[in-house]
Structure 1
Amino acid sequence: MRPLRFVALGDSLTEGVGDPVGDTWRGWAALLADGLAPANSPAEFTNLAVSGAQTRDVLERQTPAALGLRPGVVSVVIGVNDTLRCTFDIHAVASRLDQVYAAFRAQGTALLTACLPDPGTMLRLPGALARPLARRQRAVNTVVHALSERHGAVHLHAAHGDWISDRAMWSADRLHPGERGHRQLAVRFHALLAEAGLATGAAPSAEPEFSAPSRSASLWWLATAGTGWVARRCTDLLPQLITLAADEVRHKARGSSARLDLTASHAVASALTALSVAEQPDAA
């Protein structure tokens, strides 16, 4: 009998950034893989996630590679990087995710998804800068919720909860979980999969295997790799984010801030409606 194969798709969160083991990253997906099957018949695990990936990368690069592996379980956790780009388009995000989810479900693969906290809150940005990012992440999360239900995914609600405010769960950059945070995701995913009869191995431990990085080590990371990460994102997003923040300030001054939320809600509804219409058979 062929061992269960688990393939993970996504960005730096699934790649394991924030949970270093030796010279590489481990992360929640690798921790989860160890608990999907009994120890005497371990699951085969392939991690296709790449730092910086967006929904387009998952659709065009990662999904074809994963389909070729014919996994029994696949995780698709993506979308934060889309919100950090000036090209953000919730219609495009919804269409891409719908295609990805449908491709795996058509192959009979069990699908794992998750909604995530917004980066503005995690970075503790000022309100006018944080609100546009929060609005975008809510839009992505709403789409992921709706499509996860449509495609019968095992969905983890990770956008809220005590773990968001628990500093011990997060790495120095405040965007990626540390080892404890990655373990939290693995434990919660395992519980959902076990309830669905899809995980038959021992649950991952919630307790870290390694000591948390010292404050000096965290500051060194921020001054080296972390600085490069911020610089790459700012080059793309910052000009638009300043424009979005100015728009926030203007609407707040006019007392019309609710209009921005309403516009975003209408865009999400339009994106999901467009997918539903596209799936309907021709009247003829």
Structure 2
Amino acid sequence: MRRVRFVALGDSLTEGVGDPVRNGWRGWAALLAAGLAEEPVEFTNLALSGAQARDVAERQLPAGLALRPDLVSVAVAARLDQVYAAFTGQGALLLTACLPDPGAMLGLPGALARPLARRQRAVNAVVHALSDRYGAVHLHASEGDWTTDRAMWSADRLHPGERGHRQLALRFHALLAERGDASGPAPSPENEFPAPTRSASLWWLATAGTGWVARRCTDLLPQLLALAADELRHHARGTSARLDLRTSAAVSAALAALSTTERPEAA
């Protein structure tokens, strides 16, 4: 009997940023892999910090398909339908999650926070629909006390710390075990390593963390500033409701497009 194969795709969240081990990252996917079966699992983490939708669809997807996984996790990407269809077409079980509002996590001012919250709600709505469509094991990670528990998060407030990664792994394990798809021991919720001190966290942000921030700002900051400017213009005109209607229309169009395509049968 061959071992269970688990492949993880995505960006820094799935790579494990926030959960350091030795000279790299571990993260929720590696923690989950250890409890998927009683025998060792063949786990491959293709996620990479800074990866965007194009990287997931054009680089990680072909590499993941070549491994013919039984279980695959896919982080949020613009081409989710394509990625989900490809893996389920091979018979893989999908792991998906919706994510919390980054603006609230960072405590951003309203003009910056509102467009981020609106966009995250829209993305989550599409992820929910696609997860249903492809029979994914879906985790509502945008909800629950863990999102407001500071002990769950790393210094940058965007990535879980070790305790947060363990919480994600534990919740995914529970969903899989309920289906009979995880027979190994559940991940421990308790930290294996001492939590980094405040000074150590600040040192990471000031050194290695600056590289991550710089890379993300290249693509995120211009978009965020444009969204904030649009938010302020509509607020000044008293037409902010139009932004919500525009987003709702975009989500409806995306969901309508999904309903016109046939779901592929698993191989």
One fold, TM greater than 0.5? Answer: yes
Q: In 2, Cα distance between the equivalents of 1:78 and 1:244?
A: 20
Question: 1:195 and 1:261, CA in 2 relative to 1: closer, same or farther beyond 3 A?
Answer: same
Equivalents in 1 of 2:216, 2:75: separation in Å? 19
Q: State the secondary structure of the residue aligned to 1:155.
A: strand
- Paired-residue identity, %: 78
The one of 206, 209, 227 equivalent to 1:223 is 206
Which residue, out of 240, 245, 249, partners 1:257?
240
Gap runs ≥5 in structure 1: 80-92
What's the offset of the Cα at 1:219?
0.7
- Is the Cα contact below 8 Å between 1:54 and 1:78 reproduced in 2? no
Q: Deviations over 1:151-189 (max 9, x none)?
A: 000000001211111000000111000000000000000
Give ranges in structure 2 of 5+ residues lacking alignment: none
Name the CA shift for 1:56/1:216 in 2 (closer, same or farther; >3 Å): same
Shift of 1:259: 1.2
Residues 130-166 of structure 1: CA distance to partner in whole angstroms, max 9, x if unpaired? 1111111111111110000000000000012111110
Given that 2:47 and 2:60 are in contact with CA atoms closer than 8 Å, whether structure 1 keeps it comes out as yes
Whole-angstrom CA distance in 1 between matches of 2:11 and 2:32 = 17
The equivalent of 2:89 in structure 1 is 106
2:111 matched residue in structure 1:
128
Note the alpha carbon deviations across 1:38-77, whole angstroms, 9 max, x for none. Answer: 1xx2211111111111222211111111111111111112
| 2:37 partner amino acid | A
Residue 16 (structure 1) aligns with: 16
- How far off is 1:241 after superposition? 2.3
66-75 vs 240-249, greater mean Cα deviation = 240-249
Larger displacement relative to structure 2 (142-151 or 263-272): 263-272
CA shift digits 1:1-56 (9 cap, x unpaired)? 10111111111111010000111100000000000001xx2211111111111222
1:2 alignment counterpart = 2
- Distance across 2 between alignment mates of 1:195 and 1:275: 28
Question: Equivalent of 2:224, from 241, 245, 250?
Answer: 241
Distance in 1 separating the partners of 2:123 and 2:222: 21
Cα distance in 2 for residues equivalent to 1:9 and 1:239: 26
Using structure 2 for the length normalisation, give the TM-score: 0.94
Deviation at 1:272, TM superposition (A): 1.9
Which AA in structure 1 matches 2:82? Q
Deviation at 1:254, TM superposition (A): 2.8
Query: For the structure 1 residues 77 and 237, does the alpha-carbon distance in structure 2 shift closer, same or farther, using more than 3 Å as the test?
Result: closer
Name the Cα RMSD after superposition: 1.4
Paired letter, 2:142: A
Question: Structure 2: how far apart are the matches of 1:110 and 1:243?
Answer: 38
What is the CA-CA distance between 1:221 and the residue it aligns to? 0.9
Q: What residue is the counterpart of 2:76 in the other structure?
A: 78
Q: Secondary structure at the match of 2:88?
A: helix
Summarize the alignment of residues 53-202 of structure 1 with structure 2, pairs less than 5 Å apart.
Answer: 53-79=51-77, 93=78, 96-202=79-185
